[in-house]
Structure 1
Amino acid sequence: MRYLLAGLSASLIGIAHAAPIEDIRVPGIVYDADVQTPDEYLGHGLGDKPVRHDQLVGYLSGLAETSDRIKVETIGYTHERRPILFFTVTSPENHERLDEIKQRHLASLESGEEPKGDQPSIIWINYGVHGAESAGMDASIPTLYHFAAAQGDEVERQLDESVILIVAILNPDGHSRRADHVETFSSVVPVTDPAHAQHQLWVEARTNHYWFDLNRQWLLLTQPEAKAWTTKWQEWKPQVSGDFHEMGSQSTFYFHPGEPKRKNPLIPDEARDLTKNIADRHREFLDSEARLYFTEQGFDNFYIGKGSTYPQANGGLGILFEVGAARGGAIESPSGERSYADNIRTHFRTTLTTIQGTLDQQEEIAAYQRNFFQSALKEAEDDQTKAYVFTTNGDRTRRTRFLELLKSHDIKVHRLAEDIEIGGKTYAAALSFVVPMDQMQYRMVRGVFDRVTDFEENIFYDVSGWTLPLAYDVDYAPLKSRVARGEDAGRFNPDLLGAEVTEIEKPTASRPSEASYGYVFEWTDRNAAKALYRLLSEDVLVRVALEPFEVRGEEGLMNFEAGAVFVPMARQEVSKRTIHRMMQAIAQDEGVEIHAVTSGAGDVATASLGGGSFRPVEEPSVLLLFDDGLSRYDAGEVWHLLDFEMRMPVTLRRKDQLGGLDWSRYTHLVMVGGGNVALSDAATERVKQWVREEGGTVVALRQSAHWAQDTFLDAGKREKPADEQDADHQKKLRFNYAEMDVRDAEHVIGGAIVATDLDTTHPLGFGYGDRMLPALRNTTAVLDWPKGNPYAVVSAYPKEDVLLSGYVSEKRRGELADTPAVIAQPLGRGNIVLIADNPVFRGTFLGTNKLFLNAIFFADLMDAPSGDYAVEE
């Protein structure tokens, strides 16, 4: 049956490197001629040219419409509103009882008992998490075509014995950028030269709309794509997951189980053994065609937020596949010409070997998964930590985000039944929650809450520290069965477990009554910045408190901290009625508690609303630089925070294209980290003028902070004394060549969580409840102490106990200790803000997010000291 004829005539571009479906099909298998082939639909063979997302949706959805073996559903949409398709592939008989199969599977994991009767294997396939990795997306086409059209006992058996769950594709936005790029630089004669523009594509297509690497999102869930597929994954809890990628063109083909020593300790050793047995099937296929490959080298299983490692921390087996890329269709490589079409075929065939390898161990894998969760319960019973208690106090938005994160990972959370105090911190029952360890997701609870600083090996493919309560700046503490003297932990009591949290409601606040004098809201909630910008963008006059104050309202006397936002009724050009409607809408939409004020002062001598301790705030206009040496990832994280979360417009501009800008339009210039962050001489001089004479603010992160300190604040680098330089020169070092990888990695900070001491009285510290602020550190360079302004260091790394979670060598800890983390200094009419780390890392560090937002809104509130101060020796 022909469900749609969308194909046109075959493309003239790259036909020599296309693969007709006859070359991709499995030899010896008979295919139903009534099922439309990809060639017929597309009008060309696979690998000839990129398959656009709309073509993928059209062809694959058509297969599902006409085949009784395939069902499709849309599980989410990207930022650019493209659908994420989820396919269920199994026998028609299994489709009829699919809900029963799922429930029996989940029930067996909870009970630990083998289900009675036939129970299919649950297999998950990820295609296309990185948009630039073309074969990992287009392999979904021959896979679904195969299961729609292949005939014979072997295929029928596979369909009967398995439920195959396929996400195609995971990253439609990046995929679409890749297809456009390849077509833009395509030519009649295929160009295999790696220097050809068609092959030069990486971050632009690898990432999603906001330039996030979605293969780091399985744990973090800040992006809609990851939320969609992780929710579905937890709904099924598959036994085996295949994750298909591309790597550098110079490489051959890789498949898990990965480096033996680089495995997260939460993953049982048995998972590796079962994965190696599945790998035997991959080897058989690859050996039969004399293909080059490698395994157990180069890729790890440590960070549990990747597509091949997340399943392993959740009871399944995760298998990573990487093939040398041929992004433009065909490319020269050290091992010969590499073909896009051949890569598609390789991923298709190893999809089939994954399925067959799973079925060859069907009973053993099912038993392993049941035991995974049962052994987790046993480990929880033996663990002295019985639960974690946490609170975000007044920040309801951050609390909701953290609860949603835990729920997405199927982690059970209870309300705290009564107030408790741990280490001088009170956890109020009305604002606090408890995560018990005694649950099936015990290992995921540990993955989220554990602070890990000791590692068998210090080489990491990704960041080494992911303690999410620290990232969210959540106050939390362990509750233990026994508490040693002096230990900062609480005693666990089952009575502390209140009702389980099953529904998480969007935070809303009560609508304020109409104010006669003005409105006030605290700066503590994450959405306070969103509320402030909403007001400023509507030309409402706003003032911000520099000190704590007391006022009177309809609720009586009210106390507020520095950073609170005051909207006076006086001197507004916007009508009182309009302002009142806006305040009611903000309370409802953003969940920010807004208070109506009836008087300009309270009963005690604190700052008055009309006094000098309140300053007006102007609407920020942000210019964000990217590319030309600046990290696209870092820039995307800033863009996502301001645009998507805070609903603030951001002007994006390439760093090497600053000529001709109207600088008067902008209040803030944001420069992120990267490998080459310096501006051109002409641009540097223009920015200096903009800051000093026109009042602009530079906010510089990571490497840009070091460049900005030297450029704008004339810091200069500290030099070693001559005698130390001579001593270093005289040292002669010699190591074995085989030790290079480990020694080179020893002092690399690949991503760890460190402590900073934050001045909460500084405008950049407004809205924080305490001075200890965790930050993500993934650079080794440190800022110099500023000269002449002892108030400029907003936060600093402590002298001791700087490492909270992850790996940092003793040498790097010593270098980092007692150095500035954030410097904010007036310069002429403007300001320079230097942040040593990335405060918006992967959209997850909600704690340091606020510090960055404070730099956007409150930098102009800083005053320079009246006199010059000598730096203390």
Structure 2
Amino acid sequence: MRKFYGLLLALLVALAGRAQTSSNLAYYLPQTVTYNPAIPTPAAVLGYEVGEWHVSHDQLVTYMRAVDAASDRVTITEYARTHEHRPLLLLTITSPDNQRNITQIKADHHRLTDPAASGQLDVSRMPAVFWMGYSVHGNEPSGTNASLLAVYYLAAAQGPAIDEVLRNTVVLVDPSINPDGLARHSGWVNARRSKNLVADPANLEQNEAWPGGRFNHYWFDLNRDWLPLQHPESRGRLRQFHDWKPNLLTDHHEMGTNSTFFFQPGVPSRKHPLTPARNFELTQKIGAYHARALDKLGSLYFTEENYDDFYYGKGSTYPDVNGAVGILFEQASSRGHAQESVNGIVRFPFTIRNQVATTLSSIEAVQALRVDLLNYQREFYQQAAREARGQGVRAYVFGADQDPARAYELARVIRQHQIAVYRPKSALKLNGTTYAPDQAYVVPTDQPQFRLIQAMFEERTTFQDSIFYDISAWTLPRAFGLATAAVTKDPAGGLLGPRLDSVSFPTGRVLGDKTAYAYAFSWQGYYAPRALNTLLARKLVVKVASEPFFIGARKMDYGSILVPVGLQTMPADSLYALMQRVATANGLDVVGITTGLSAQGLKLGSVNFVTLKKPEIMLLAGPGVSPTDVGEAWHLLDERFGMTPSLVAPETLDRLNLDRYTVIVASDGTYASISASAREKLRTWVQRGNTLLALGKGAKWLADNGLSTTRFKAGGPVPAAPETALAPGATSTVPAVGPAPVSPAPAPPGRARPAPATVAGANPLPQRPYVGMRNTASAQEISGAIFHARLDLTHPLGYGYTSPDVFLFRDHTVFMERAASPYANPLMYTARPLASGFISRANEAKLRNSAAVDIVDVGAGRIISLVDNPNFRAFWYGTNKLFLNSIFFGQLMRASPAPAGE
């Protein structure tokens, strides 16, 4: 019935649009072929020509379904729904014969990635799989609008050439990777489009309101989520990726209006060492096809500059660690429908045409290099298998015996990447840590995804280059705050227990019955804050232990939560049922206590059990605030912990009654819109006993504007010597905290790290080539690395942590001074802070032994400054609790003893 309805729709739109079938298609598409009139053109469905308006997501879906209904070359899969419930589509386009044989084609591609089976395949007879992805950033719309034309061409073009393409290729089209962002952007520019196009860069149409259309619903950059998989868009897409095992993936983006067009490869020295050299060679060969296509159009372009291929969480780089070739395209953006630039007026149709041209050149390259690409994928996995057997690490173990939920969350991510995960066969003691068989996980390295496993677990401090387009480290066990160890003995020798085809959320339970005097649970569980929020939302009296106590032989550590039954208005039976639901939902053991007289430690009536208030949270969100940072906080509280933060524009503080809030979060930002009177209002609000929590440059803004006394170190370092190439075989490195679990491959010559800065009054800096100035400055950035800090476990900020060793993610050069009070900095960087990633020597010197957190008393309240983002990209589980503790237990935190009577 669906197919019949779709055919009828396609017929109607084709007839209605027959008069306008190709009035501008010649601008975009080859006219050397004929086009099947039964396939609707984009204009026939949309009612306008491609490029006249920005296609909305609902229009895009309507067109794709119309083509699906009209063509036997096309099938559609809805692979996920966004946070805003928009469908994500993947179109499979190939010959009708291939469509009928699609199950076998998929199976053969899976065998191609299996070293034990791939040698039996005759790749000369296999079709290549080519994935085309468009506009992961919603306000980079030329890609999505180009997908309309790409799909039309593949469905409608006729002749021997297209028949050969479809016989030899399965083309997968992801026409809108970020529907929520696209909807936000298209709505903005279309609503502000003038009949006579305005190209002024200051025009409202070309300047979206904050946060813009780049991001998804929670303001995340989905192009960084291919590895951590924290969003439904990414999880659904990855299932399709591994269902198909593509040979080539293209990723269509936009960049600044004054640029031209970029295609990969990027800077040769900036690819990840785990990516084979053959990948770069194939990328160069494919690039020749793009060059010819753009030469024919007269479009300017560049390659092997600016961009890299290092972080495997990006859409064009993830394929490189999965036996495929990923290609990034970047088109200068019109942002609206036209915009002035140094290269003349950039018009929206022109940006679309370049994306279409490189789509078609990619198809041409796949035809010419099909066997090469298939052989490369087979050889990638065969070589990875040899490397896995030849290196020293046989498996990685990770776990958290006091918090199985965090270990579960990491295991769940790893399984989605088609990596086998096991339980240990028996308890393991490694590097002083015991890994219990029901709490820990084992990842053997001898499996097809060996290189991806290395990328997930390695701690790398050796690099060929010191400049990174994105982050330089992402070691997943560090991100999740888990104990981890590399195992050098053969897993087959008794290490491996049962293989986990799926992982299960930890089982929670209530220990005790309805006659309990009180209930208690540890704060060590990752989802303990969600449990607490549930109880506080039900208006229960809930207390937190500021010192340890015991329930029989069970130690309840700092931060444990106590629910006294006798203080509640809820009947005991109802409370027991609620505690059962809370335990199950959050994977916690809730202990029923039969007496207030604990064997050791605090007694349950002690004043050291502090009654908690439900936090009422404001997240400052608007111009001047980093959308990604505040979005990460919003996502954490709303999506993961069931809380209800208010998103408030900073410029409205003057008009608001702040008394309804107990916590205000100032994420990384500049806050220029907050007036002097609003700053005073904020200070008064804090003085009344509330918590102002500031992150990154938000903390510095508070200090610069006299709201806090937190001190920061002087600005970034100035290199004292010119950068020079390292000697052949040398490496650029900074000492790490302990050895890397995987020895990095020797790096070829690269860029040396600048020497420390000179001091005032010293000899002037030596002359250096002007051409290297930008690279010299870029080498002083901290693009993203992992650093070791020490946490006071007795401090409310440290509640729930079982080890003082905390690994922070840092992507900035804001350095905080230590405070005069010995209690104001409960989290400090170590003397050797670098754990993984790149940092210049001068920046590392500033970071050593500096404060990571500073607490300032302001009357009865406090300002808590976290210099680093504890919620980075939603996968830094290991530091989320620093943020949550600041929210729930800020009322307990002071930098010095409170005055009497306060």
* TM-score for the superposition, normalised by structure 2: 0.90
Q: SS in structure 2 opposite 1:206? A: coil
Deviations 1:429-457 (A, max 9, x none): 22111111111111000110001111111
Sort the Cα spacing of 1:151 and 1:785 in 2 relative to 1 into closer, same or farther, 3 A: same
Question: In the TM superposition, what is the alpha-carbon distance from 1:576 to its structure 2 partner?
Answer: 2.5
Worse-superposed segment, 277-286 or 211-220: 277-286
Match of 1:745 in 2: 778
Q: SS in structure 2 opposite 1:639? A: helix
The answer to whether the aligner puts 1:565 opposite 2:554 as a matched pair is no
Check conservation: 1:64, 1:71, Cα contact below 8 A: yes
Match of 1:669 in 2: 664
Structure 2 letter corresponding to 1:74: E
Match of 1:645 in 2: 640
Sort the Cα spacing of 1:297 and 1:718 in 2 relative to 1 into closer, same or farther, 3 A: closer
Say which of 824, 843, 849 aligns to 1:792. 824
Match of 2:233 in 1: 225
Sort the Cα spacing of 1:515 and 1:329 in 2 relative to 1 into closer, same or farther, 3 A: farther
Using the alignment, how far apart are the partners of 2:15 and 2:809 within structure 1?
Answer: 51
Question: In the TM superposition, what is the alpha-carbon distance from 1:678 to its structure 2 partner?
Answer: 8.1
The answer to whether the aligner puts 1:858 opposite 2:858 as a matched pair is no
Q: SS in structure 2 opposite 1:204? A: coil
Say which of 320, 340, 355 aligns to 1:347. 355
Sort the Cα spacing of 1:545 and 1:558 in 2 relative to 1 into closer, same or farther, 3 A: same
Structure 1 letter corresponding to 2:528: A
Check conservation: 1:7, 1:43, Cα contact below 8 A: no
The within-5 A match list for 1:399-478 is: 399-478=407-486
Say which of 697, 705, 714 aligns to 1:703. 697
Match of 2:29 in 1: 25
Question: In the TM superposition, what is the alpha-carbon distance from 1:733 to its structure 2 partner?
Answer: 3.9
Sort the Cα spacing of 1:203 and 1:357 in 2 relative to 1 into closer, same or farther, 3 A: farther
Check conservation: 1:414, 1:497, Cα contact below 8 A: yes
Match of 2:496 in 1: 497
Worse-superposed segment, 842-851 or 677-686: 677-686
Say which of 112, 121, 128 aligns to 1:115. 121
How many residue pairs align between the two structures?
842
Using the alignment, how far apart are the partners of 1:416 and 1:81 within structure 2?
Answer: 39
The answer to whether the aligner puts 1:298 opposite 2:292 as a matched pair is no
Structure 2 letter corresponding to 1:178: H
Match of 2:370 in 1: 362
The answer to whether the aligner puts 1:56 opposite 2:55 as a matched pair is no
Q: SS in structure 1 opposite 2:270? A: coil
Check conservation: 1:637, 1:842, Cα contact below 8 A: yes
Sort the Cα spacing of 1:866 and 1:198 in 2 relative to 1 into closer, same or farther, 3 A: closer
Using the alignment, how far apart are the partners of 1:37 and 1:719 within structure 2?
Answer: 60
Say which of 154, 159, 174 aligns to 1:167. 174
Deviations 1:460-495 (A, max 9, x none): 1001111111111111011125xxxxxxxxx86731
Worse-superposed segment, 95-104 or 567-576: 567-576
Question: In the TM superposition, what is the alpha-carbon distance from 1:280 to its structure 2 partner?
Answer: 1.5
Question: In the TM superposition, what is the alpha-carbon distance from 1:653 to its structure 2 partner?
Answer: 1.4
Question: In the TM superposition, what is the alpha-carbon distance from 1:83 to its structure 2 partner?
Answer: 0.7
Match of 2:148 in 1: 141
Match of 1:375 in 2: 383
Using the alignment, how far apart are the partners of 1:534 and 1:867 within structure 2?
Answer: 30
Question: In the TM superposition, what is the alpha-carbon distance from 1:849 to its structure 2 partner?
Answer: 0.5
Question: In the TM superposition, what is the alpha-carbon distance from 1:716 to its structure 2 partner?
Answer: 5.1
Residue identity (%): 36
The answer to whether the aligner puts 1:548 opposite 2:548 as a matched pair is yes
Question: In the TM superposition, what is the alpha-carbon distance from 1:75 to its structure 2 partner?
Answer: 0.6
Question: In the TM superposition, what is the alpha-carbon distance from 1:676 to its structure 2 partner?
Answer: 5.3
Match of 1:257 in 2: 265
Sort the Cα spacing of 1:798 and 1:726 in 2 relative to 1 into closer, same or farther, 3 A: closer
Using the alignment, how far apart are the partners of 1:719 and 1:314 within structure 2?
Answer: 43
Using the alignment, how far apart are the partners of 1:639 and 1:718 within structure 2?
Answer: 30
Using the alignment, how far apart are the partners of 2:844 and 2:429 within structure 1?
Answer: 31
Sort the Cα spacing of 1:867 and 1:653 in 2 relative to 1 into closer, same or farther, 3 A: closer
Sort the Cα spacing of 1:689 and 1:61 in 2 relative to 1 into closer, same or farther, 3 A: same
Using the alignment, how far apart are the partners of 2:427 and 2:344 within structure 1?
Answer: 68
Match of 1:486 in 2: none
Q: SS in structure 2 opposite 1:319? A: strand
Question: In the TM superposition, what is the alpha-carbon distance from 1:114 to its structure 2 partner?
Answer: 5.0
Check conservation: 2:700, 2:712, Cα contact below 8 A: no
Say which of 184, 189, 202 aligns to 1:195. 202
Structure 1 letter corresponding to 2:878: G
Deviations 1:333-391 (A, max 9, x none): 11122121222222122112112201201111111110101100111112111111111
Using the alignment, how far apart are the partners of 1:542 and 1:386 within structure 2?
Answer: 47
Check conservation: 1:708, 1:834, Cα contact below 8 A: no
Deviations 1:508-542 (A, max 9, x none): 31355324312111111111111111111111110
Q: SS in structure 1 opposite 2:852? A: strand
Say which of 838, 841, 845 aligns to 2:876. 845
Check conservation: 1:132, 1:178, Cα contact below 8 A: yes
Sort the Cα spacing of 1:43 and 1:522 in 2 relative to 1 into closer, same or farther, 3 A: same
Q: SS in structure 1 opposite 2:631? A: helix
Using the alignment, how far apart are the partners of 1:320 and 1:744 within structure 2?
Answer: 25
Match of 1:804 in 2: 835
Question: In the TM superposition, what is the alpha-carbon distance from 1:51 to its structure 2 partner?
Answer: 1.1
Using the alignment, how far apart are the partners of 1:854 and 1:726 within structure 2?
Answer: 40
Deviations 1:139-167 (A, max 9, x none): 11111111111111111111110111111
Check conservation: 1:450, 1:467, Cα contact below 8 A: yes
Check conservation: 1:21, 1:39, Cα contact below 8 A: no
Structure 1 letter corresponding to 2:815: V
Match of 1:833 in 2: 864
Using the alignment, how far apart are the partners of 1:684 and 1:273 within structure 2?
Answer: 57
Sort the Cα spacing of 1:289 and 1:852 in 2 relative to 1 into closer, same or farther, 3 A: same
Sort the Cα spacing of 1:493 and 1:817 in 2 relative to 1 into closer, same or farther, 3 A: farther
Using the alignment, how far apart are the partners of 1:863 and 1:203 within structure 2?
Answer: 35
Using the alignment, how far apart are the partners of 2:271 and 2:759 within structure 1?
Answer: 42
Structure 1 letter corresponding to 2:385: L
Worse-superposed segment, 223-232 or 441-450: 223-232
Using the alignment, how far apart are the partners of 2:15 and 2:683 within structure 1?
Answer: 56
Structure 2 letter corresponding to 1:687: L
Question: In the TM superposition, what is the alpha-carbon distance from 1:730 to its structure 2 partner?
Answer: 5.5
Structure 2 letter corresponding to 1:532: L
Q: SS in structure 1 opposite 2:161? A: helix
Check conservation: 1:549, 1:560, Cα contact below 8 A: yes
Structure 1 letter corresponding to 2:499: E
Unaligned runs of 5+ in 1: 482-490, 869-873
Check conservation: 1:8, 1:42, Cα contact below 8 A: no
Q: SS in structure 1 opposite 2:83? A: coil
Question: In the TM superposition, what is the alpha-carbon distance from 1:718 to its structure 2 partner?
Answer: 6.6
Match of 1:395 in 2: 403
Check conservation: 1:563, 1:766, Cα contact below 8 A: yes
Check conservation: 2:710, 2:816, Cα contact below 8 A: no
Q: SS in structure 2 opposite 1:87? A: strand
Structure 2 letter corresponding to 1:164: V
Using the alignment, how far apart are the partners of 1:246 and 1:716 within structure 2?
Answer: 39
Check conservation: 1:19, 1:46, Cα contact below 8 A: no
Using the alignment, how far apart are the partners of 1:408 and 1:719 within structure 2?
Answer: 44
Using the alignment, how far apart are the partners of 2:314 and 2:670 within structure 1?
Answer: 25
Using the alignment, how far apart are the partners of 1:613 and 1:226 within structure 2?
Answer: 45
The answer to whether the aligner puts 1:756 opposite 2:794 as a matched pair is no
Say which of 292, 304, 316 aligns to 1:308. 316
* TM-score for the superposition, normalised by structure 1: 0.93
Say which of 80, 83, 89 aligns to 1:79. 83
Check conservation: 2:663, 2:691, Cα contact below 8 A: yes
Using the alignment, how far apart are the partners of 2:448 and 2:299 within structure 1?
Answer: 41
Q: SS in structure 2 opposite 1:337? A: strand
Using the alignment, how far apart are the partners of 1:715 and 1:283 within structure 2?
Answer: 53
Question: In the TM superposition, what is the alpha-carbon distance from 1:113 to its structure 2 partner?
Answer: 1.2
